[in-house]
């Protein structure tokens, strides 16, 4: 079973990029041939889980936003062209005889390089905004990956539990059928009444639906895990899911104090880091909004060409280089800038409140997860000897029946107690593993995945 799983975010992204060329049907046919461990499922989930793949696309979209944000820093190359045909009466001529007549066909074209020199603070702010946007996107991606891997771990434990419940119910049915066979032999020997046979038949019949439901629960659990792993069912697949697991329910030691868990969560959870980046982004939004109060200055240089004015030969042109600067300043913009500043400040205040609220929610999540883990551990410890005792009770009940000092009801009660003890133990093992996984997720423990095969 996995302990602390470290997910280096960039390693995860690399795994996604490599997985982009793998088709789901081909992957399903290959990977479902062998039983999968929890480690296998987590690695497959990193490559194929639909939520993780969508988040990867979100990272690419965030990269596009970063490029847009930084565009103000870089120079722009702009080309322009124009052709105009004017009516002769709309062309002004010189007011003296013999003066040249302007050509009614005119064209012009130029290429210029434009560089922003001063934008009221938006240039430096855009660089900070681009960095913060990229970091926030990575943190949000890390949060989704952690949640998706937790879902896979829980689904894997549920599938193991369902498989163990089949074993328990099969053992229960076998015990009750053996008891029924023994009771029938005693009836034939005249040592037990017909009532005991009927009672044994009822108990055996009542156990079979539990076995049927356990098998259905196993199919449902494996179907859920297959969906989380991003597999497609083969076209000719029947009702039984094509997934086998090779793990087992077991409890690995894990110790962490409550306050240590809370402090660790508040410093490690990617959600808090992402909201801190969001707060910084809102601060930059205020700076960019305030830039509307200030002038904008650009420098430009280029090369242009136009048709000669006083000739009908369109191949005659006037060409040359040019350089200059331009300034624009909205002295009054109808309170547009003021409105943007008010909006940006309100969103900044909102981001601060959201950060504090999320920290409180995470602390509550940690406290709840820690309490659930302690409960699961105590329940598991209480069941350490339960199966051993229940097995011994059943053996003694059978011996007493053989000696004539106990009744069939004692044997059936012992068999029921043994089945219940087995069910409680495997449920406790599953609850312990799931509670531990949720506590590790709550405190922000990083996830260690073996990436040597990616």
pLDDT digits (tens, 9 = 90+) for 363-386: 999 999 999 999 999 999 888 788
Continuous H helices in 229-294: 258-268, 270-290
Lowest mean pLDDT among 68-77, 166-175, 238-247, 290-299: 238-247
Residue 450 lies in a domain: no
Residue 205 lies in a domain: yes
Residue 451 lies in a domain: no
Task: Determine how β-strand 105-118 pairs with β-strand 296-307.
Answer: antiparallel
Residue 397 maps to which CATH number?
Answer: 1.20.1600.10
Q: Which domain holds residue 128?
A: 9-85+102-443
| pLDDT tens string 389-409 | 888 888 888 888 777 777 777
How far apart CA 454 and CA 452 sit, in angstroms, is 6
Residue 226 lies in a domain: yes
Confirm if 238 and 223 have CB atoms less than 8 A apart. no
Is the pLDDT reported for residue 308 higher than 90? no
Residue 97 lies in a domain: no
How far apart CA 45 and CA 227 sit, in angstroms, is 10
Contacts of 329 (CB under 8 A, 6+ apart): 294, 295, 296
Residue 96 lies in a domain: no
How far apart CA 213 and CA 423 sit, in angstroms, is 14
Report the chain's mean pLDDT, rounded to a whole number: 85
| pLDDT tens string 1-58 | 333 433 443 444 444 344 334 344 444 555 567 889 999 999 999 999 999 999 999 9
Q: What's the number of domains the chain is made of?
A: 1
Contacts of 149 (CB under 8 A, 6+ apart): 5, 7, 42, 45, 46, 447
Residue 181 lies in a domain: yes
Residue 448 lies in a domain: no
Confirm if 83 and 106 have CB atoms less than 8 A apart. yes
């Amino acid at each position: 079973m996995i302990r602390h799983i470290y997910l280096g975010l960039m390693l995860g992204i690399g795994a996604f990029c490599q997985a982009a060329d793998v088709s789901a049907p081909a992957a399903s046919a290959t990977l479902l041939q062998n039983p999968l461990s929890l480690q296998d499922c987590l690695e497959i989930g990193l490559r194929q889980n639909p939520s993780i793949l969508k988040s990867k696309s979100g990272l690419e979209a965030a990269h596009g936003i970063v490029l847009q944000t930084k565009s103000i820093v870089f120079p722009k190359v702009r080309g322009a062209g124009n052709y105009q045909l004017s009516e002769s009466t709309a062309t002004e001529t010189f007011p003296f005889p013999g003066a040249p007549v302007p050509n009614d066909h005119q064209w012009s074209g130029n290429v210029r390089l434009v560089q922003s020199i001063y934008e009221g603070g938006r240039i430096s702010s855009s660089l900070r905004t681009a960095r913060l946007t990229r970091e926030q996107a990575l943190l949000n991606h890390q949060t989704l990956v952690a949640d998706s891997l937790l879902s896979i771990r829980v689904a894997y434990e549920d599938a193991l539990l369902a498989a163990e419940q089949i074993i328990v119910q099969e053992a229960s049915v076998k015990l009750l059928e053996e008891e029924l066979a023994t009771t029938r032999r005693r009836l034939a020997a005249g040592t037990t009444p017909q009532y005991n046979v009927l009672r044994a038949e009822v108990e055996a019949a009542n156990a079979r639906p539990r076995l049927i439901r356990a098998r259905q629960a196993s199919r449902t659990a494996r179907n859920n895990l297959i969906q989380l792993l991003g597999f497609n069912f083969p076209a000719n697949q029947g009702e039984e899911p094509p997934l086998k697991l090779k793990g087992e329910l077991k409890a690995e030691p894990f110790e962490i104090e409550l306050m240590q868990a809370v402090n660790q969560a508040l410093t490690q959870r990617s959600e808090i880091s992402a909201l801190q980046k969001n707060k910084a982004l809102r601060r930059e939004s205020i700076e960019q909004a305030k830039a509307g109060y200030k002038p904008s200055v650009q420098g430009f240089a280029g090369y242009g060409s136009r048709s000669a004015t006083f000739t009908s030969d369109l191949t005659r042109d006037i060409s040359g280089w040019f350089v200059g600067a331009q300034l624009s300043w909205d002295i009054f913009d109808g309170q547009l800038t003021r409105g943007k500043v008010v909006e940006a400040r309100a969103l900044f205040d909102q981001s601060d409140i959201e950060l504090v609220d999320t920290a409180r929610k995470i602390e509550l999540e940690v406290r709840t997860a820690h309490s659930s883990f302690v409960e699961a551990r105590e329940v598991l410890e209480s069941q350490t000897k339960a199966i051993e005792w229940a097995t011994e009770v059943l053996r003694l009940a059978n011996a007493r029946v053989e000696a004539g000092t106990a009744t069939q009801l004692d044997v059936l009660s012992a068999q029921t107690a043994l089945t219940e003890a087995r069910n409680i133990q495997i449920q406790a093992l599953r609850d312990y593993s799931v509670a531990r996984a949720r506590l590790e997720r709550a405190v922000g423990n990083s996830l260690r995945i073996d990436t040597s095969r990616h």
